[in-house]
Amino acid sequence: MRYLPLSETDRTDMLARVGISDIDEIFVDIPKSARIDGLLDLPRRQGEFAVERDMSRMAGKNVAASSVPFFVGAGAYKHHVPASVDHLIQRSEFLTSYTPYQPEVTQGTLQYLFEFQTQVAALTGMEVANASMYDGSTGTAEAVLMAHRVTRRNKAVLSGGLHPHYRQVVEGLSSMAGDRVEALGADPSGTEDILAAIDEETSCVVVQSPSVYGHLIDLKPIAEKAHAHGALLIAVFTEVVSLGLVESPGAQGADIVVGEGQSIGNGLNFGGPYVGLFATRQKFIRQMPGRLCGETVDSNGKRGFVLTLSTREQHIRRDKATSNICTNSGLCCLAFTIHMTLLGGNGLAKLARINHANAVKLKGMLEIVPGVSVVNDTFFNEFTVKLPKPAHGVVEALADKGVLGGVPVSRLEPGKSALENLLLVAASEVNSHEDRAAFVTALKEVLA
Amino acid sequence: MSMNNQGRPSAPVDTGGVAEHPTFTGNKALAMEEPLLFETGRMDVCGVDLDEPEDFAPALGNHARKAVPDLPALTEPEAMRHYVRLSSKNYAIDAGLYPLGSCTMKHNPRLNEKMARLPGFGDIHPMQPLSTVPGAVELIAELAHWLVTMTGMSAVAMSPKAGAHGELCGMMAIKAAHTAAGRDPKIVLVPESAHGTNPATAALLGYKVVAIAAREDGTVDPAAVKARIAEHEGDIAGIMLTNPNTCGLFERDIIAMAEAIHAADGYFYCDGANFNAIVGKARPGDLGVDAMHINLHKTFSTPHGGGGPGAGPVVLSERLAPFAPLPFLRKEGDGITWVESESELKDGERPFGRMTAFHGQMGMYVRALAYMKSHGADGLKQASEDAVLNANYVRVGLQDLMSLPFGQRWCMHEVLFDDSFLKDTGVTTLDFAKAMIDEGYHPMTMYFPLVVHGAMLIEPTESESRSSLDLFIATMRDLVMSAQKGETGRFKGAPFHAPRGRLDETRAARSPVLKWERPTSRDVQPQAAE
Ligand SMILES: Cc1ncc(COP(=O)(O)O)c(C=O)c1O
């Protein structure tokens, strides 16, 4: 087997060295009744070429985003990732290293984590960021738990503009942990009155902007009301590129900012691995979940970096830890950091302008299709379209015509007839004028 | 000292360090210092060519950002150099033996990377119509089949994002099962040798963790489990047991413990981080396990990536299978359905909710399946046997010099030593580990598990050749003898040859500096001459 360096001779000699002739003698502690001799029901080994052919066959059945006019978003976005990013993250020294528990020989990882934290803090407008969560949805659930610890209350109020999957992740964990959640109804128009839901028992208000329906939400009044009642504002985003153009949640008074970082540096990958961004105020750092990288000096007085404040974490604090997270999104942070480094603040702002401009153009082209209207007044690169018939069928029919035209709201919020005709449509820098024209043509045909 | 005819020393001169040959840059040939990207980056360069859009009417309302993020950029050549130089400061499996116990630092095949980057896997969106991604569902179903077959379990929840997330998923399924039965037990039993994620997970769900001490031989005593169960009669939600355990031992009384926990209406969660020892040798389903996560980034070779990402699918017993979270696979005859929402449920399906947005770690699924297909049933069993053989070879090579806390007995894929062999040497486990760095090795896992003093947990994995193990054993023996001879200088200040000496962790924690700050103008102004 090409990955196993021991030869049969090695095995025989090594068995002799440890004093036996049959490897099974080592497995004596496995109860006899439970011993098996191999996995008889599974196929045998295959060479590299055979595996490649088999897996390429499966991959070939899927429609890749780059191969068609593509407008699918709802929490994951198709962007162009520079070739150098994927090259660099495949360097052995990054790819095949473990969590940097031995800082003397993992300064590479530690320094990029420090750079990552700096970038995330700057983008979100917050004082500190951690070294990543699994993704935006699990980060949101962790943010709610953190708010409970900070406020010593346990009721979270969730906006109806929060991505429904994020809401479900929060609700699942909260109900099991015995915490309360008040989730407002779906808010496709971006007009909900969340202020009315905040009271003296509220631990946190969770608001997504741009919302899952694309609306930009004014966080300031929500932060003010939350703070007046001793609650925290958790601001969520699923499209990190928006932070290049939209006011940062930190500048609007958010206490915890959490979101999905996939758009920068990371491919779509059918939903994972992605990278959860998590930032907060300095005064809350001891309540934060996840790893933190900090600056220090070595025995020769040289600057270096280490994982720090680990007394919050499971490996030290066990059942008193702020979270159970261990493995996080390491290499996805690196991809994020490299892409962000290539862009810089100005490049990100320009990328965001291109995304926004393409969305504005797309909106203009879609809303003149008969029977179609756009719900949003404000948006970044994604908005909600109202169709004359159920969006689910329209999306399938568009796919048959070779256009991936968005996400039917009914896929995220099934069984709600008021939402059936709504379609989430996302634009990005990868869309050309021809892509948009193809979309409009196909949509007209489907609706005709 | 002998000189050659050009007057240069023909043997290395011991300068006692490099201080006698300072360089202007601080670099030492290939060992380069590298500043933070913010210190060399500029606001007026960009590493991505983007065209400014033509004039358009923005739709941002009054939400426009007032100032661009204060983040300098690097152009592509600068970025390449920056990250390549950083990479040179990392230890990695591809560079050397990485014997981190409990982490299974095995070879990461590059075929896996290539497969994960096929556009049909890497460039598909989780919310594009399922009719456009049948190959993705097929891949997940095939991986699920391998996992369920290897473990002898009924079902698998694919979506958890890492081991700890899998623990959470499994414990949530257990809680949901109790709730469905009208019960609300409060206690979860966790051996003291468990990884920190186990008690942390139980506590997240509001459970009270009751610890079980290890017995003399490093395993869990079923009598101790039964005693705790009796103390908390009627209030036991389950047990979280690692098998093979964190001392590198197979829990030989596992079936008795499973029976005891089941008799108390509790469930058996197994931490499967150490599954690499027993693939093709035993199936958790035959041992009474109800739920077990599998770290695809350990047993199935997906790269650790400096801390992640991983994937932690959880295999489930028949009793827990109905509670698996959304989304899940439903098999009907030859067909597979990907069930995403409550509205699609059939009788008997009672998912407890959702662990994450979308479908889980597809990128890791592709890699893990490429690994499994490459090994096949025969290769997977061989890999486990080799991993276990390698660990025992190391054990036998070191046991006369280093101390085995539980005596000379077979270990599984990792071997645990304690620090009693360092007694009175003045050298600690930490010092010993740092001296290993100077020898070109990543240290083993230290101070874990907590049940032995100064733990050193060595997991060589099946990826090491015999000659690599021989050199490792010889190096370790040399270090031990050196410590015992009182050569503390080799240990106390170590490492001497790493990119950095020991780092001041106390200082990092006392006044945390967690990001780069732009120097204030005062800081950068030249000092006036005195
Ligand atoms: C025994 C054990 N359990 C659980 C975990 C947690 O797994 P992960 O880091 O994938 O969350 C680990 C590894 O880190 C482990 O070694």
Does pLDDT of B411 surpass 60? Answer: yes
Task: Please give, rounded to a whole number of angstroms, the shortest distance from the CA of A75 to a CA of chain B.
Answer: 8
Calculate the CA dihedral of residues B304, B306, B307, B311 and round it to 10 degrees: -30
Distance B308 CA to ligand 1 centre (A): 11
Ligand 1 test: best mutation among B100, B102, B457, most atoms within 8 Å of CB?
B102
Question: For A73-94, how does the pLDDT look when each residue is reduced to its tens digit (9 = 90+)?
Answer: 999 999 999 999 999 999 999 9
Question: For A302-315, how does the pLDDT look when each residue is reduced to its tens digit (9 = 90+)?
Answer: 999 999 999 899 99
CATH of the domain spanning B377-506: 3.90.1150.10
Mutate to test the interface with A, among B358, B361, B367, B450 (most CBs of A within 10 A): B358
* pLDDT score, position B245: 97
Q: Quick check: B59 contacting A, CB < 8 Å?
A: yes
CB < 8 Å to B468, chain A = 5
Task: Tell me the average pLDDT of chain B.
Answer: 94
Residues B207, B201: Cα–Cα separation, whole Å: 9
* pLDDT score, position B230: 98
Ligand 1 test: best mutation among B295, B356, B416, most atoms within 8 Å of CB?
B295
Chain A: residue whose CA lies nearest to B162: A327
Choose the weakest-confidence range: A37-41, B75-79, B426-430: A37-41
CATH of the domain spanning A65-80+345-447: 3.90.1150.10
User: Are B69 and A360 a contacting pair at CB < 8 A?
Assistant: no
Instruction: Enter the pTM of the model.
Output: 0.96
Q: Quick check: B330 contacting A, CB < 8 Å?
A: no
The conformational region for residue B26 under phi > 0 = left, psi -120 to 50 = alpha, else beta, is left
Does pLDDT of B502 surpass 90? Answer: yes
Q: Which residues of B279-296 are buried (b: 16+ CB within 10 A; e: fewer)?
A: bbbbbbbbbbbbbbbbbb
Tell me how many degrees the CA angle A126-A132-A135 measures, rounded to the nearest 5: 105
For B5-24, what is the mean pLDDT? 58
Chain A: residue whose CA lies nearest to B145: A42
**A-B Cβ pairs (cutoff 8 Å, strict):** 738
B197 Cβ inside 6 Å of ligand 1: yes
* pLDDT score, position A38: 84
Task: Please give, rounded to a whole number of angstroms, the shortest distance from the CA of A259 to a CA of chain B.
Answer: 12
SS (H, E, C) A1-32: CCCCCCCHHHHHHHHHHHCCCCHHHHHHHCCH
**Ligand 1 atom 5: residue of nearest CA:** B163
* pLDDT score, position B12: 45
User: Are A332 and B206 a contacting pair at CB < 8 A?
Assistant: no
B311 Cβ inside 6 Å of ligand 1: no
What are the domain boundaries of chain B? 113-371, 377-506
Does pLDDT of B3 surpass 60? Answer: no
Question: For B175-229, how does the pLDDT look when each residue is reduced to its tens digit (9 = 90+)?
Answer: 999 999 999 999 999 999 999 999 999 999 999 999 999 999 999 999 999 999 9
Of the pLDDT bands very low, low, confident and very high (cuts 50, 70, 90), residue B19 is low
Q: Quick check: B213 contacting A, CB < 8 Å?
A: no
* pLDDT score, position B521: 59
Does pLDDT of B300 surpass 80? Answer: yes
CB < 8 Å to B511, chain A = none
Q: What is the DSSP string of A24-74?
A: GGGGGGS-GGGB--S-TTS-B---HHHHHHHHHHHHTTS--GGGS-B---S
The answer to whether B162 and A328 are in contact (CB under 8 A) is yes
* pLDDT score, position B471: 98
A99: Cβ contacts below 8 Å, ≥ 6 apart = A291, A307, A326, A327, A330, B304, B306, B307, B308
Candidate CATH numbers 3.40.640.10, 3.40.50.300, 3.50.50.60, 3.40.30.10; the one for domain B113-371: 3.40.640.10
Per residue of chain A (448 residues), what is the pLDDT tens digit? 999 999 999 999 999 999 999 999 999 999 999 999 888 789 999 999 999 999 999 999 999 999 999 999 999 999 999 999 999 999 999 999 999 999 999 999 999 999 999 999 999 999 999 999 999 999 999 999 999 999 999 999 999 999 999 999 999 999 999 999 999 999 999 999 999 999 999 999 999 999 999 999 999 999 999 999 999 999 999 999 999 999 999 999 999 999 999 999 999 999 999 999 999 999 999 999 999 999 999 999 999 999 999 989 999 889 989 999 999 999 999 999 999 999 999 999 999 999 999 999 999 999 999 999 999 999 999 999 999 999 999 999 999 999 999 999 999 999 999 999 999 999 999 999 999 999 999 999 999 9
Distance B243 CA to ligand 1 centre (A): 13
* pLDDT score, position B10: 47
* pLDDT score, position A133: 98
A84: Cβ contacts below 8 Å, ≥ 6 apart = A338, A342, B47, B76, B79, B80
Q: Which of A115, A272, A330 lies nearest to residue B360, judging by beta carbons?
A: A272
A336: Cβ contacts below 8 Å, ≥ 6 apart = A116, A119, A261, A264, A265, A266, A275
Do strands A180-183 and A155-158 pair parallel, antiparallel, or not at all (unpaired)?
parallel
User: Are B357 and A169 a contacting pair at CB < 8 A?
Assistant: yes
CATH of the domain spanning A83-339: 3.40.640.10
Nearest to B73 by CA among A442, A338, A43: A338
Q: Which residues of A382-410 are buried (b: 16+ CB within 10 A; e: fewer)?
A: bbbbebeebbbebbbbbbebebbbbbbbb
Residues A366, A368: Cα–Cα separation, whole Å: 5
User: Are A270 and B84 a contacting pair at CB < 8 A?
Assistant: no
Q: Which two tokens mark A339?
A: 């892409």
Backbone dihedral angles phi then psi of residue B439, each to the nearest 5 degrees: -85, 0
Does pLDDT of B529 surpass 90? Answer: no
Question: For B302-349, how does the pLDDT look when each residue is reduced to its tens digit (9 = 90+)?
Answer: 999 999 999 999 999 999 999 999 999 998 888 899 999 999 999 999
B219 Cβ inside 6 Å of ligand 1: no
